Structure formats: C-alpha cells, structure tokens
C-alpha cells in the first residue's frame, strides 16, 4: 500500500462513497432515534470489509480494519438535527439527491459525509491488505447533536475503549483542524416577590432582575479575552432564553430563568465561567439568584440513559504534535501540498476525547461548517473522495513521522 494506490482507490470508489452518503441521508436519524440508520451503516460496514463490527449500549457502531498494537480511531456522529421549515428546502431534506457533483440533504455535511468517507477508507484499507502498526477503528456515534461527546464519554469511561489517536470527521472543508473552543450551558434562576399588578411597589419583580441580569451578561461578553496564542480566539457568552412567570398576567412576576451559551477558550473552565456570571450579577445589583450547570439525561434509541453535566472542555494540540505532523505528512504525500491547518468554530465529540481525556486528536472532514444545521445542506463528492484517501493514508503518515 502506498500513497498513489490509495489515491487511485479513492477515485475508484468515488461513486460508491456518494451512494453510501445518499442512502444514509434517506434514512432519518435524529438524536435518540438513530437505530434504523445504524442498521444501514452496519450493512455498509460489512460491505466495506470491516471486522469486529459491534454496537455499544448507547447504540454507537464500531468496526475495524487491521490488527496493529495502536488504536487509530475515526469518528463520525450519525445523528442529525431536524429539518426546520420544510418550505425552505429546494429539494426534499431526506432525498439524498446526487446531481452536479453534489449529494444533497439533511446531514450531507454534518456529518454523514464524514461517515461515508470513513466507509470508503475502510474499504481501501481492507482491499489493500493493510497490516501496519495501527488497528484502524471506525466509530459511527450517536446523540452528538443533543450532547456532544456523550457517546465518547461512555465508550472511554464505561467500555474502556481508549484510542491512541482520534480523528473527528466533522466538516472542515478538507482542512486539518487541531482544536476548538469548549462550551457549557449555564442556567440562572432568579426569585422575586409577587404582588398585584396594580401596586407593583409592593413586590420585587423578577422580570426587572432578569433584564438587569441579561444586560450584565452582555457586558461580561465584552470583557472576555482570547487564548494566549490567539489560535482559538476569545470566549463568549450569550443569553439564549429568558422565561419570566408569576401568579397571573395581573401580577408582578416572582420567578425568572435565563439560559446562557458559554463558549470557552483555552484556560477557561466551568468553575471560572460560573464565578464570572455570579460576579456580573452581583455587580448589576441582582440578588436572590442561583447559577448552575444543568445536566443532560435522555434515553438513547437503545433505551439506555447516560447522564452528563452540560460541560464540554476546550482542546487544542500544537503543530509539533506527532498526530498533527502525521496528518500534514499524509496530506502532503497524497496531494503534493501541505494542508491548511485551522480550528472549528463549533464543538465536536473532541470535547470528550481530547477535552476530558487528553487523547491526541485532529479533525479532517468533507463539507463546510456553514452547511451545518442549514436548509439545502450539500456535500461535494470531490470532498468525499479527498477525505477517503486521507483517512486511508493517515496510518502511513503517522508511521513515517514517528
């Protein structure tokens, strides 16, 4: 197996890869309902020649090629968000239409395209008889859209399935990514004192406290700073929901809730972020409040409930890291040029693998970030071919740069 034969094999399987993506799009699979799509992928994985195909307790599917002593794992989450307004779609969102060099439909980029390229890479490795120092695992994981990293927290902490190297195939426009900001969800509960609306001075309005709290969060966002090397950029916080209620429409409200999306740059964590919000509210004169991080607990399609606090740690690895260098080497040898190295704007399953557990991780995927969650989602068949070749070649790049 060499780079030229890998590139030729990816081109040979180009149409098969596009059809695999189309078939996955045709079977809806939202978080917690991925079962039928997983069964389809199981058939495709068998067709690609994967071995030890299995489904874990949450419903993620894993299969491998090779028997080396080290685990190189490629990951694609195979759940998608909903379609939104069907009228916004020019073609049906689950059509899987293939035309003009594109595959169209919900999940085409986010991120069934990565899954399709993984299947093709497994086929290339199997057909070439790969027998290098890596067991190459392919993970088709669930529930990422609801709770990124939950599936990998379960695999690592419960199943003790620990990669040596991890590659997320989330969309990167075929660029090499080496990190992204973390995130967390923050809930603020505020209490006031209710009274009749005809005499508001007798009460203590939770609505006005919530308004002051929201403006305090806006000011806090302006004060947040980037990481030292300015690679990931600044942390951010925004109020995503406000709910206010009281005994009636003719009463001063006595309860308020604000929900915040907090993006965490390098050096920021959950304790720091919660403390900043508490300080900001006190400075704004808000009293009788509680700030906390909610918990995720929803059943997988298997019925299993696996809980996690809504905290998703930041991660990044330096250019000098062996995994990053191996990725650059594989790309350069395949395509005659080094890849653009960058980072995601959004969050991925890397929050668990790299963020929680420090496992070396990179990203390389077909399609564009701006396609994620958007109507008329597409992926380029050219990207699928490029990524299939890169995934199959990465073991060679790692072996060449160790």
Residues forming a β-bridge with 299: 305
The 3-class SS string of the chain reads CCHHHHHHHHHHCHHHHHHHHHHHHHCCCECCCCHHHHHHHHHHHHHHCCEEEEECCCCCEEEEECCCCEEEEEEEECCECCCCCHHHCCCCCCCCCEECCEEECCCHHHHHHHHHHHHHHHHHHHHHCCCCCEEEEEEEECCCCCCCCHHHHHHHHCCCCCCCEEEECCCCCCCEEEEECEEEEEEEEEECECCECCCHHHCECHHHHHHHHHHHHHHHHHHCCECCCCCCCECEEEEEEEEEECCCCCECCCEEEEEEEEEECCCCCHHHHHHHHHHHHHHCCCCCEEEECCEECCECCCCCECCEECEECCEECCCCCHHHHHHHHHHHHHHCCCCCEEEECCCCCHHHHHHHCCCCEEECCCCCHHHCCCCCCEEEHHHHHHHHHHHHHHHHHHHHHC
Domain identity same for 11 and 59: yes
Instruction: For 110-150, write each residue's pLDDT tens digit.
Output: 999 999 999 999 999 999 999 999 999 999 999 999 999 99
Instruction: For 74-95, write each residue's pLDDT tens digit.
Output: 999 999 999 999 999 999 999 9
Residue 366 domain-assigned (yes or no)? yes
Domain identity same for 202 and 173: no
What local confidence, expressed as pLDDT, does residue 111 receive?
96
pLDDT above 90: residue 402? no
Domain identity same for 165 and 190: no
Domain identity same for 113 and 18: yes
If one compares 1 and 221, the residue with the highest pLDDT of the two is 221
Per-residue pLDDT band at 401 (split at 50, 70, 90): confident
Domain identity same for 167 and 201: no
Domain identity same for 76 and 171: yes
Residue 354 domain-assigned (yes or no)? yes
pLDDT above 90: residue 360? yes
Domain identity same for 225 and 96: no
Residue 303 domain-assigned (yes or no)? no
pLDDT above 80: residue 237? yes
**Domain finish residue from 263, 295, 327:** 295
Q: Which of 34, 144, 204, 368 is catalytic?
A: 144
Percent of the chain surpassing pLDDT 90: 99
What local confidence, expressed as pLDDT, does residue 121 receive?
98
Residue 171 domain-assigned (yes or no)? yes
For tokens 């690895």, the residue is 317
Provide the whole-model pTM.
Answer: 0.95
Residue 301 domain-assigned (yes or no)? no
Per-residue pLDDT band at 280 (split at 50, 70, 90): very high
Instruction: For 143-187, write each residue's pLDDT tens digit.
Output: 999 999 999 999 999 999 999 999 999 999 999 999 999 999 999
227: domain CATH number? 3.30.70.360
Domain identity same for 154 and 52: yes
Greatest CA separation for the chain: 81
Domain identity same for 86 and 154: yes
Residue 176 domain-assigned (yes or no)? yes
What local confidence, expressed as pLDDT, does residue 1 receive?
85
Residue 121 domain-assigned (yes or no)? yes
Q: How many domains does the chain have?
A: 2
Domain identity same for 168 and 200: no
Instruction: For 362-400, write each residue's pLDDT tens digit.
Output: 999 999 999 999 999 999 999 999 999 999 999 999 999
**Domain finish residue from 295, 325, 356:** 295
Average pLDDT, the chain: 97
Q: Which of 79, 204, 383, 385 is catalytic?
A: 79
What local confidence, expressed as pLDDT, does residue 245 receive?
97
Reported residue count of the chain is: 402
382: domain CATH number? 3.40.630.10
The torsion of the CA quartet 147, 55, 390, 328, rounded to 10 degrees, works out to 60
Residue range of the domain that includes 246: 182-295
Task: State mean pLDDT over 237-254.
Answer: 97
Residue 300 domain-assigned (yes or no)? no
Task: State mean pLDDT over 200-219.
Answer: 98
Q: Catalytic: 144?
A: yes
What local confidence, expressed as pLDDT, does residue 229 receive?
94
Q: Catalytic: 222?
A: no
Whether cis (ω within 30° of 0) applies to the bond prior to 100 is no
Domain identity same for 140 and 227: no
Domain identity same for 157 and 46: yes
């Amino acid at each position: 197996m060499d780079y030229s034969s890998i590139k030729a094999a990816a081109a040979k399987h180009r149409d098969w890869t596009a059809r695999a993506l189309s078939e996955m799009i045709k079977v809806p699979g939202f978080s917690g309902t991925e079962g039928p799509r997983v069964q389809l992928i199981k058939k495709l994985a068998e067709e690609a020649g994967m071995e030890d195909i299995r489904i874990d307790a949450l419903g993620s599917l894993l299969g491998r090629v090779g028997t080396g002593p080290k685990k190189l794992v490629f990951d694609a989450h195979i759940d998608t968000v909903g379609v939104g307004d069907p009228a916004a779609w020019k073609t049906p969102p689950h059509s899987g239409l293939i035309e003009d060099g594109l595959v169209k439909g919900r999940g085409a980029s986010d991120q069934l395209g990565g899954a399709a390229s993984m299947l093709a890479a497994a086929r290339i490795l199997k057909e070439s008889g790969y027998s290098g120092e890596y067991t190459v695992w392919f993970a088709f994981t669930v529930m990422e859209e609801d709770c990124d990293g939950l599936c990998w927290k379960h695999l690592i902490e419960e199943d003790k399935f620990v990669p040596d190297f991890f590659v997320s195939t989330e969309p990167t426009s075929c660029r090499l990514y080496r990190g992204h900001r973390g995130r967390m969800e923050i809930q603020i509960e505020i209490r006031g004192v209710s009274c009749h609306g005809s005499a508001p001075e007798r009460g203590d309005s939770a609505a006005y406290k919530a308004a002051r709290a929201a403006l305090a969060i806006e000011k806090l966002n302006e004060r947040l700073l980037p990481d030292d090397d300015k690679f990931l950029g600044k942390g951010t916080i925004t109020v995503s929901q406000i709910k206010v209620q009281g005994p009636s429409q003719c009463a001063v409200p006595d309860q308020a809730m604000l929900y915040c999306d907090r993006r965490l740059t390098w050096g920021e964590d959950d304790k720091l972020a919660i403390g900043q919000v508490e300080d900001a509210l006190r400075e704004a004169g808000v009293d009788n409040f509680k700030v906390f991080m909610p918990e995720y607990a929803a059943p997988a399609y298997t019925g299993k409930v696996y809980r996690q606090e809504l905290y998703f740690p930041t991660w990044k690895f330096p250019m000098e890291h062996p995994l990053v260098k191996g990725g650059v080497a594989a790309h350069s040898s395949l395509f005659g040029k080094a890849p653009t190295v960058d980072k995601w704007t959004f969050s991925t399953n890397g929050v668990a693998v790299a963020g929680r557990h420090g496992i070396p991780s990179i990203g390389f995927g077909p399609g564009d970030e701006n396609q994620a969650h958007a109507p008329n989602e597409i992926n380029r068949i050219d990207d699928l071919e490029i990524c299939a070749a890169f995934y199959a070649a990465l073991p060679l790049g790692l072996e060449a740069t160790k």
